[in-house]
Structure 1
């Protein structure tokens, strides 16, 4: 279906083309926290499916509806394909990132893994092996029954599980049956799931329940195909998997549960700041420049973007997926906010309207670089939001977003640096030392403000996300939004349209300097 939609983009009017393209950008993200991933011709040995923060009584459901390995029957005694479930302190750290790429994690008792689901295609079994002390993880075959209020149906009667050990066929799909056998020690029972086999493809399902508070944490679910561990000897395979994660309060991860209230409060703060800024502009109409209204538009756009972001999280928590129309509005406002932010910072740093009314050639080139990069960064953000974490190009787009964002942050500093150098050179040549030193001090203050904003929202925020426990990772978003609000307020205070503001006295003095230079 996706192929047919992409081929159809070349037909129809430009308005229809834009509408279809926008729908394609959000269609992948409509599943929300109910993830559905379908890969064809995949060659990766390790696939990072998802990361989620669970509280007690949270549940993880996995349904592998199709697995086609594309290789002949193997004589290996131990399985080389399966899932791994691991727990880490932070969602940003992968449990197997430091291992040798040619080592198979399914054949090695690693302390990083809590549970391994070993798929044995020869015996049509999936053996579940537990490691460590996490004995209260409740692992069972099949998916959890949907609650009556979710399905709108009466509660089903309990059914008797058929005898395990074989796969039965219902319709066109082979359904695996679970069995429980004695483990190697003879004391602990090892869960063995039945593996369905139909038309050279395999399927099974299981669910995990976090039994107690001792098992709470950030869990990573990964898929491993050790046949592809050796470079140059990869075997393409197909996989279709559904992942449903829940906490007692809804579908959001532990670190995302407070985000609905956080974004709503921050949206109100930016809205209040924008209204106050407009009231200041209306009281000082004589000293208001166009860039003042651009700053007001940025505050309101930021507020609207956070509002749609908050509403999206509300519907994801309650339904497991966002509303498509609200998601589209969030992407549009996010794009406008990103472009307005960097343009405003660059214009203020260059002294446009406050110091001069014409941009130099170097400053025009900066704008020619920053604006396209911001478009690329927002496209990368939309792609990341609309793709599953296990998609082949997810990591590439994430790296593009990080790199482009750093380039934009570095590029907007150049106009400020050029203004500072210009004022340093002019302070000893035009006879107005006191005035130029005042200008230099103000531009240095703004330069420090931009540096602190970039430093806190990029470096410090990332370090905070890695350092704090899984349930406090929402502090990352709090630091980013709080730093942005503080930056907006300080910038507005420095550039407020008041008669005694040194910035507003500069254009008249610069016009006199231009006349003297012409003479």
Structure 2
């Protein structure tokens, strides 16, 4: 008991620690010693007048490549009509999307490139495709002769920070004195660089300012999505041909990304989810109440597993309520409230564990066929339950990790693999029960009852297979083919299929007196067997007699 309580406390602390760094739709990603050629920062569905704010806080490049134009570095913002189909290839190939020969884009789909020039201290913005997006950024100023000399001196300084801050102040003071001798001193407000707005539909190329502070480059921009260019956008960071002498050189950067639609911080495909989850929670709660009413009405034929099924339905309903609340706060605040998020993750973990435990118990025929689990079946539980805990931990880490981090893709692959293993593992008990009933139908003298239960478990096996295939494969394929604003239908299909699966399972295994699977006659003489008796010389002249309860002969059929 103490071990269980300690485990719950550890899981609770883990959830809280994971949520501390979770910023949801207000992202802040820091990568250190990164070597990937392309980093997928985020995917977001924008409606018209949606806004994207990107602030590259700091970018530190390797000393061997920071002044080389042979290794382009920058960002790309591309639109895709459906999830997973981008406007240009994203694989790590020899070609670089940022090079002038490759920055062609699709004639229809809008693509925006931000190519960083560390030598010229500028960012070249190139827009392709049909779009009416508005870009707001600080343009690059025309440099005076004194400013160019000062910047050249800064570039010649080592990046290790060997120069003292006092020397930097001294150099800047000298430049200011030279400028003061020739140019009258202007007010601070007049000399401050203002941000300008550019229509990327007409301005296909422009140059914005790139600043350098303590050896780190930084710039920012704000984009408003136009009515013609709304869609699902993918923001990526590229460091092309990051290879010297056969090895990739590490780089580091910190970027802040804020995405927002007119209605809130949720992506276009996620806006209806809060209402969807709360409605489905009400439906699951109603179904759970109907199930409890059925159990109370037929209490004399109720097994313990029936109450476990009721607990699963209630847990599913509560999990959907917390999921809806979590999405509501993400939409309004831009990030989840830690308390509500922790409650959702806890109920999500319990729901996943209860689901696979219930399915495995039903599949083994526990309480319906037998009351004792074999060693083989116990091993299934010893495998499935820890895997389900791992799958839910992976899900929590994915939800709490920025998409651009390398751990995100690792845990996403772990979640997919573990989920498939669990789905395959729960099919084994059903197959074992079918085999057990097939053997028992010809040996224990109760063939009719066993054949009916065999039919039941075959139906149940088909139901599980259909549920797994639909929620794991077919629904995902539908999501990929749907337009960006309708991709919430994937979640709708998953929840509806789960509800149908729960209802059909409950109906098949309901504790009703008229359930042909659970209330079968125990006396073989009272059952009419649908068997064909072959005629032979030995059986010739034998009659089949059906008796009533008082033993009198009621019917006699000649077998001649």
TM-score using structure 2 length: 0.78
- Per-residue deviation, 1:423: 1.6
Hey, what does 1:260 align to over in structure 2?
274
Structure 1 residue 120 and structure 2 residue 113: aligned? no
Find the aligned partners of 1:59 and 1:371 in 2 and give their Cα distance. Answer: 43
SS of the aligned residue for 1:106 comes to: coil
Query: Residue deviations 1:202-222, cap 9 Å, x none?
Result: 11000111121x211100000
Structure 1 residue 386 and structure 2 residue 400: aligned? yes
Hey, what does 1:191 align to over in structure 2?
206
C-alpha contact 1:315 1:322 (8 A) present in aligned 2: yes
Hey, what does 2:78 align to over in structure 1?
86
Q: CA 1:442/1:433 → structure 2, altered by over 3 Å: closer, same or farther? A: same
Q: CA 1:452/1:191 → structure 2, altered by over 3 Å: closer, same or farther? A: same
Hey, what does 1:28 align to over in structure 2?
21
Hey, what does 2:63 align to over in structure 1?
71
- Any stretches of 5+ residues in structure 1 without a counterpart? 1-12, 143-160, 511-519
- Per-residue deviation, 1:229: 5.9
- Per-residue deviation, 1:179: 8.5
- Per-residue deviation, 1:285: 1.3
Q: CA 1:420/1:261 → structure 2, altered by over 3 Å: closer, same or farther? A: same
SS of the aligned residue for 1:206 comes to: strand
Structure 1 residue 345 and structure 2 residue 359: aligned? yes
- Per-residue deviation, 1:162: 11
Picking from 433, 443, 453, the partner of 2:447 is 433
Structure 1 residue 478 and structure 2 residue 505: aligned? no
Aligned residues: 470
C-alpha contact 2:98 2:113 (8 A) present in aligned 1: yes
Q: CA 1:232/1:275 → structure 2, altered by over 3 Å: closer, same or farther? A: farther
Find the aligned partners of 1:164 and 1:59 in 2 and give their Cα distance. Answer: 29
SS of the aligned residue for 2:444 comes to: coil
Hey, what does 1:154 align to over in structure 2?
none
Structure 1 residue 140 and structure 2 residue 155: aligned? no
Find the aligned partners of 1:447 and 1:335 in 2 and give their Cα distance. Answer: 25
Hey, what does 2:175 align to over in structure 1?
none
Query: Residue deviations 1:305-337, cap 9 Å, x none?
Result: 100110111111111111100000000000000
Aligned pairs for 1:94-109 (under 5 A) are 94-95=86-87, 97=89, 99-107=91-99, 108-109=102-103
- Per-residue deviation, 1:288: 1.1
Q: CA 1:105/1:299 → structure 2, altered by over 3 Å: closer, same or farther? A: same
Query: Residue deviations 1:78-126, cap 9 Å, x none?
Result: 6600000111122234555564523211111242561100000111100
Query: Residue deviations 1:165-193, cap 9 Å, x none?
Result: 6999xxx9x999579899xxxx9563211
Hey, what does 2:554 align to over in structure 1?
none
Structure 1 residue 447 and structure 2 residue 461: aligned? yes
Structure 1 residue 49 and structure 2 residue 73: aligned? no
Task: Say which is worse superposed, 404-413 or 89-98, in terms of deviation.
Answer: 89-98
Find the aligned partners of 1:225 and 1:342 in 2 and give their Cα distance. Answer: 44
Aligned pairs for 1:246-395 (under 5 A) are 246-395=260-409
SS of the aligned residue for 2:98 comes to: helix
Aligned pairs for 1:188-267 (under 5 A) are 188=203, 190-212=205-227, 214-228=228-242, 232-267=246-281
- Per-residue deviation, 1:452: 1.2
SS of the aligned residue for 1:353 comes to: coil
Task: Say which is worse superposed, 435-444 or 217-226, in terms of deviation.
Answer: 435-444
C-alpha contact 2:128 2:204 (8 A) present in aligned 1: no
- Per-residue deviation, 1:354: 1.3
- Any stretches of 5+ residues in structure 2 without a counterpart? 1-5, 152-167, 173-190, 525-560
C-alpha contact 1:79 1:118 (8 A) present in aligned 2: no
C-alpha contact 2:136 2:195 (8 A) present in aligned 1: no
Q: CA 1:391/1:237 → structure 2, altered by over 3 Å: closer, same or farther? A: same
Find the aligned partners of 2:9 and 2:349 in 1 and give their Cα distance. Answer: 21
TM-score using structure 1 length: 0.84
Hey, what does 1:130 align to over in structure 2?
127
C-alpha contact 2:56 2:219 (8 A) present in aligned 1: yes
C-alpha contact 1:179 1:191 (8 A) present in aligned 2: no
- Per-residue deviation, 1:421: 1.4
- Per-residue deviation, 1:454: 0.7
